[in-house]
Amino acid sequence: MKTCVKDKFSLVETKKGGLSLRVTGEDGLSKTLHSLYDPEAEASSIVDAFDFDGKGILVILGLGLGYHVAEFSRKYPEAEILVIEAFHEIWEIAKEYGPVFGGNVKFITGLSYSDAIRKITDCQMKNGIKSLSVLALPAVVSTFPAYYQPIFDSLKRTMSIRLWDKLKYPKFNKDLLSIILIDSGYFLVKEVEKALKLLGHKVVKISDRKGADSGDIIAKYIETILEIKPDFILTINHLGFDEEGVLASFFRSIEMPVASWYVDSPNLIVKAFNRNVSPYVSLFLWDRTYIEDMKVTGFEAVNYLPLATDENIFKPMKRQGQEVRGKGQGYECDVGFVGNSMAEPVNGWMLKVHKEYHPYIERLAEELACGNAPLNPAEPPAVELDEKSRMDFDAAVLWRATLLYRLSCIKQLEKFGLHIHGDSGWNNLLNNRDVKLLPPLNYYKELPYFYNTCKINFNATHLQMKEAVNQRVFDVPACGAFLLTDHQKSLEDLFEVNREIIVYKEKGEIPEIVKYYLDNPDKREDVARKGMERVLKEHTYKHRLGKLIDLMREKYN
């Protein structure tokens, strides 16, 4: 009996009463993919003759009607079996006329051979870089060699060099290290790379390509790891890692340490994506108050590492009064603030939260801006929102509260001729107020000059920092300039407060402190000098990266 079920594909009855599949090959000839006598016995022979211990992933090239696939699934019920079939039509025929397949079988059908290879790589890396075993059904490969042979050759090359063994090697056994730095475009990446190189370490950057296929990303890491044998991977804010944890799982499988330095709230980044939790990932947080949250999330190594400064960028300038490039506007002022109004970020976060929760956000933000409310109250949003939505809600509260807090502080400075360099959002917030609004400053080229020429640099910390201090607390003193900042608990560990840095604890104190230091330039300059000495002694990026490396070496050596 011969029954045509699809163009080029037909079923043929075998001597034992079963079915075989006849196809038209690449050469135009008709070929049968299974025994015409007893295809089930043939499948048993194929499985018995194949050297497979049931571990890792078994890749089967060629489905036919699937007798061999069903036999492998029956014999190795715990194995992960991946079947590659060039023709989606054959898979449809096998589902209708072939044997029943076990739940441990996955199919990749109808893709180009290059896409099929990428899919195999994705599956291999998804839960760690698993070993591969490859079975090519001879009748299928000989019938469609242009499709199956490149896949077979590619997989055999990977297997022959035992890739997963070459990716494992001793780490931290030399004084000078090799480090892969994930380049996310975040401003801190430049400073980190520079500091590591100044410490004598080798740094290779890999770009965080958003939207890139995970197989391509991991292939790039494999290539770089084999080339430079890094001691660890370093990223900022977990940037470059996927929510599904594919990259974290890959690094764990090859025992590659990862350091993630958080300079924003980890609760708003990684808390809902617990697949990135791994004993090979160490967190470094710029705010101590998040340490316990990250340990509860599952991270074993969580360390405190505050921000710092690049003393080669932020330093005393000889050319005082440098003009803002192209603006014809001088930097000099009595009191200045450089910062975002938060108007645009607030709008962005509010759009992520359903409008019915906006009144909660506004009320909580107002209370938080006054220092009266915890971030996680027992309110309806706390019990009604899922983890990801809750993160968006919390972020909206934090950013809105920071906007209100900064605005209330800025209003205390109106009578001092305040200059604000920031975004256009300030225009609406400070409409008709006696404040000079100026364009943003380039962080590297213009900001150091502004800090140098401003008599009192003002700071109001983002409220996501419960105890930590921001970049300005290190950059301004590094310039030998004066900073007035709000009191944060971590300041007590970083500076001698009110000797090396001046703080206000209540907004109402701001005008009096500002007037005092404007009227007493000698005392202002004395504080600035002492603050600079402290920063250069303890708070540069070289200090921070040296500490990070010491902790990584201690844990993973």
CATH label of the domain that carries residue 433? 3.40.50.2000
Residues 86 and 57 in one domain: yes
Q: What is the DSSP string of 250-273?
A: HHHHTT--EEEEESS-GGGTTTT-
Among residues 323, 361, 467, 340, the alpha carbon closest in space to that of 410 is found at 340
pLDDT of residue 177: 98
CATH label of the domain that carries residue 284? 3.40.50.11930
Diameter over CA atoms, the chain: 106
Residues 242 and 100 in one domain: no
Q: What angle do CA 153, 155, 159 make, to 5 degrees?
A: 115
Residues 32 and 122 in one domain: yes
Q: Using CA of residue 131, residue 137, residue 140, residue 145, what is the dihedral sign?
A: positive
- Spatial CB neighbours of 313, under 8 Å, sequence gap ≥ 6: 444, 448
Of 107, 131, 165, the position where a domain reaches its end is 165
* Cα-trace Rg, the chain: 31
Q: Contact at 8 Å (CB) between 425 and 343?
A: yes
Residues 258 and 370 in one domain: no
Residue 115 is assigned to a structural domain of this protein: yes
Contacts of residues 471-476 at CB distance under 8 Å and 24 or more positions apart, as own/partner, are 471/307, 471/309, 472/338, 472/339, 473/307, 473/501, 474/307, 474/308, 474/309, 474/314, 474/535, 474/539, 475/309, 475/314, 475/447, 475/448, 475/451, 476/314, 476/451, 476/531
pLDDT of residue 322: 45
Q: Contact at 8 Å (CB) between 20 and 32?
A: yes
pLDDT of residue 381: 57
Give per-10-residue mean pLDDT for the chain (557 aa): 68 91 89 91 91 89 95 92 94 92 92 86 70 86 90 75 74 97 92 97 90 70 92 95 82 92 88 81 96 93 97 81 44 94 93 90 90 58 71 90 95 94 92 87 93 96 93 97 97 96 96 97 97 98 98 96
Report the side by side order of strands in the sheet with 57-61: 105-109, 80-85, 57-61, 132-136
pLDDT one-digit tens code per residue, 504-554: 999 999 999 999 999 999 999 999 999 999 999 999 999 999 999 999 999
72 by Cβ neighbours in 10 Å (0-12 / 13-18 / 19+) ranks as: buried
* pLDDT, mean over the chain: 89
Q: Using CA of residue 401, residue 397, residue 282, residue 210, what is the dihedral sign?
A: negative
DSSP E strand stretches across 355-511: 419-421, 436-438, 454-459, 483-486, 502-504
- Spatial CB neighbours of 20, under 8 Å, sequence gap ≥ 6: 11, 12, 13, 14, 32, 33, 34, 35, 36, 39, 64, 65
User: Count of domains in the chain?
Assistant: 3
Residue 322 is assigned to a structural domain of this protein: no
Alpha helices in 178-265 (DSSP H): 188-198, 214-228, 246-253
CATH label of the domain that carries residue 140? 3.40.50
Residues 53 and 89 in one domain: yes
Domain range for 55: 2-165
pLDDT of residue 391: 84
The enclosing H or E element of 48 equals helix 39-49
Residue 517 is assigned to a structural domain of this protein: yes
Residue 33 is assigned to a structural domain of this protein: yes
State the Cα–Cα distance between residues 273 and 454, nearest whole angstrom.
Answer: 43
Phi-psi region of 319 (alpha: psi -120 to 50; beta: other; left: phi over 0): beta
Instruction: Determine the residue type at 328.
Output: G
CA torsion, points 424, 428, 432, 434, in degrees to nearest 10? -50
Residues 385 and 518 in one domain: yes
State the Cα–Cα distance between residues 48 and 118, nearest whole angstrom.
Answer: 29
Per-residue 3-state assignment (H helix, E strand, C coil) for 360-399: HHHHHHHHHHCCCCCCCCCCHHHHHCCHHHHHHHHHHHHH
pTM of the shown model: 0.75
Q: Contact at 8 Å (CB) between 232 and 258?
A: yes
Residues 205 and 108 in one domain: no
Instruction: Determine the residue type at 185.
Output: G
Residue 556 is assigned to a structural domain of this protein: no
Residue 171 is assigned to a structural domain of this protein: no
Residues 129 and 248 in one domain: no
